[in-house]
Chain A
């Protein structure tokens, strides 16, 4: 079995590399075909002479043929050099690295809440199907789902941050806090800043996990083997834990794989409303500014997570159900 699994993983890794390569080539070509270029933003609100444009194109390496640009990009990327951002004038790798902590912190909290609280609530709804609790949770979670995240974010920032002044209205840390302050003070500061963006994202995303889990659980519970187990007198809690859970996890696992890349790109509006220094906003800005190197960097990271999400999901399927392994 161990060899089967490692063989499977190796095959998937090869596929992943090929997919990533294709995606990156496509991206490189697509972003050049897409209308607009990195100098567009400069020219939009101030006069810019043709001589200046030519000098800048040469500076950013945009005057060479696309194939040559791609070749040097690949050469650099192989060495771990992802180019220099046009907009920020700094290495793309460093820019992404300094945004990762904020991104993973916010995204991680949201994923964690979804795949613990969300699953638990969904299962709770399934086992109490049709009751007032079920209907109430459905209505509340769906209302949260239908609200645009920027809208909820603005309302929370205004109410909690401005009106009541309970939590900071924006940012990730209090710049007045002494950088040498103790760990406790800095953690408290961080949590206070994290609370509202995390709450916003959790509210708008929870309905997703809850609905899938509820539906999957309901379907599993009507399977013959559950009835058999019940008929045999297996206690209800054991029925749920041994049989129902395992099978009901499939959709949620798929969802987890789908949401993994959301870590990078999913929180643009919330990052914007709360001035949270994450990657989503960086990536969105890179698209707007046509900052080609930065755009490639963030898109490659997101693509990597998409592919990783697929592998993790398949791996989890195999763990849950031994029969799947033969097929996968």
Chain B
């Protein structure tokens, strides 16, 4: 009796649910599932804990940049950029650029976008108290002044080819007429309901669940064909994938490009996968110094021969294939697929176990006690490899690395750590080998941070003055520095401060009901206004 009643209740719920779960999207509506809720999608507020991709990607829907990166993402070539709020730009001398705003550009409240807005935004962005991250990125910018209503003149304190990239990429203009003085905080009201110049505005937000966007009919490039966009939030990649596979969503982001995941959505008929260069690069970072006494070299890894032998012992191609199938490459130097300099690089060195063994033997490492692990002067060739447990990709690859090095007589002890603990130890230099992963900006100039002697994130204390001067020359080379970049990469590979393991593609599964879908690596949904949703 009870069973029957339970069954009938179940049937009723399912019937209701079936009706509710048929979340068919009407034409012109797109549902995208992201990993995080964007709580502050306003330029110059995305600092500290708010400097998330969720905020940046939503900001790109609400606020237009002065210009966008061209198809080849040449950050050092200002002619390859595409006009947005700026109609044209002109180089006056090696330290000065003038930008002319498009007279048709309007804020969403109808007011025109003027030169003052640009100057206001940069006043905020260059204030280290308001925007420490932007202020650092814009540190070579000396002055931003309006010249009439439509023209803005940017002056730099230093000549370098990426000046225009720095002007347009980091800070989209804000409407100065709606905001207080540049030194004041942006009011909560504006952050929750921003008025921008972009293709969309926020129509409704349910914190922790979703944000609904409505099209801006007065958008500079014409009214968006997709009239309504929903950014849903699901922190777990499995939940995001389920929402797409159950056809409750049109696109998802930030699903690890693991073989297993890609296989799942390539089997779904209503979905196609779009692969894009990713800014991620994963590598095994060797500590150059002793873990405890940072003034002494690392007892094992201080020797570049050992570092090169470890690289030779690893089958990086196999690791990449086993983990990402064809959606990743072995990088040459610390270069993700997003950086243009990778196109001129040679292929990465392959595995050569015999050569690795020979190299280690020539350095005095032998298995004198027959335990399968090499040793030298009584010290075993044993190293700890630490990595954060949050990364599925690194969890898997660490096991592959451990097993492959075992064959070369190197014992790897795996230390998986909670994210914050891992990071603290890494920053302190308390590791033998650190399994790092970095998100790179589209510019190669960021390489100085990790690989020059006094780089801000050079936790392994790798230092080669030759690399420093090559990087410095490449950054300030007015012709873009192609050959100098390659020389720097060659030197880094030669020194082997790390084994560069994988530079993946990001795989974006997208519903087939969407047409004209163009995704951009630096901000995937930035051209959403030009898609069509059937």
A residues in contact (CB < 8 Å) with B: 35-52, 55-56, 59-60, 86-90, 95, 98-99, 154, 157-158, 161-162, 165-177, 179, 185, 188-189, 191-193, 195, 272-275, 277, 281-282, 285, 288-291
Is A171 within 8 A of B234, CB to CB? yes
Give complex CA distance A91, B19 in Å: 37
Is B31 within 8 A of A175, CB to CB? yes
Q: Given A98-B207, A162-B245, A41 and B419 touching (CB < 8 A)? A: yes
Question: 17 A-B residue contacts at CB 8 Å?
Answer: A35-B421, A45-B437, A46-B439, A47-B456, A47-B457, A89-B49, A165-B21, A167-B17, A168-B17, A168-B23, A169-B243, A175-B206, A189-B20, A195-B17, A275-B232, A275-B235, A288-B419
Is A192 within 8 A of B40, CB to CB? no
Is B242 within 8 A of A161, CB to CB? yes
Give complex CA distance A169, B40 in Å: 28
B residues in contact (CB < 8 Å) with A: 13-14, 16-23, 25-26, 29, 31, 39-40, 47-51, 128-129, 132-133, 136, 204, 206-210, 212, 230, 232-236, 238-239, 242-243, 245-248, 388, 390, 418-427, 437-439, 446, 449-450, 455-457
State the majority secondary structure of interface residues on B: mixed
Q: Given A162-B242, A165-B246, A166-B14, A89 and B40 touching (CB < 8 A)? A: yes
Is B245 within 8 A of A50, CB to CB? no
Q: How far is the CB of A127 from chain B (nearest CB, A)?
A: 16
Q: Which residue of B lies closest to A186 (CB)?
A: B20
What are the residues of chain A within 8 A of B245 when measuring CB–CB?
162, 169
Q: Which residue of A lies closest to B280 (CB)?
A: A45
What are the residues of chain A within 8 A of B243 when measuring CB–CB?
169-171, 275
Give complex CA distance A161, B234 in Å: 15
What are the residues of chain B within 8 A of A158 when measuring CB–CB?
242
Q: How far is the CB of A187 from chain B (nearest CB, A)?
A: 9
What are the residues of chain B within 8 A of A51 when measuring CB–CB?
128, 132, 136
Q: Given A51-B132, A56-B47, A165-B246, A170 and B239 touching (CB < 8 A)? A: yes
Is B423 within 8 A of A43, CB to CB? yes
Give complex CA distance A99, B207 in Å: 9
Q: Given A55-B129, A158-B242, A174-B20, A272 and B209 touching (CB < 8 A)? A: no
Give complex CA distance A86, B19 in Å: 40
Give complex CA distance A172, B427 in Å: 39
Is B17 within 8 A of A192, CB to CB? yes
What are the residues of chain B within 8 A of A176 when measuring CB–CB?
23, 25-26, 29, 31, 230
Is B234 within 8 A of A170, CB to CB? yes
Partner of A162, one of B25, B246, B456: B246
Give complex CA distance A305, B418 in Å: 27
Give complex CA distance A40, B418 in Å: 11
Is A275 within 8 A of B234, CB to CB? yes
Q: How far is the CB of B398 from chain A (nearest CB, A)?
A: 16
Give complex CA distance A275, B238 in Å: 10
Q: Given A47-B449, A288-B418, A98 and B208 touching (CB < 8 A)? A: yes
Partner of A49, one of B25, B47, B232, B456: B456
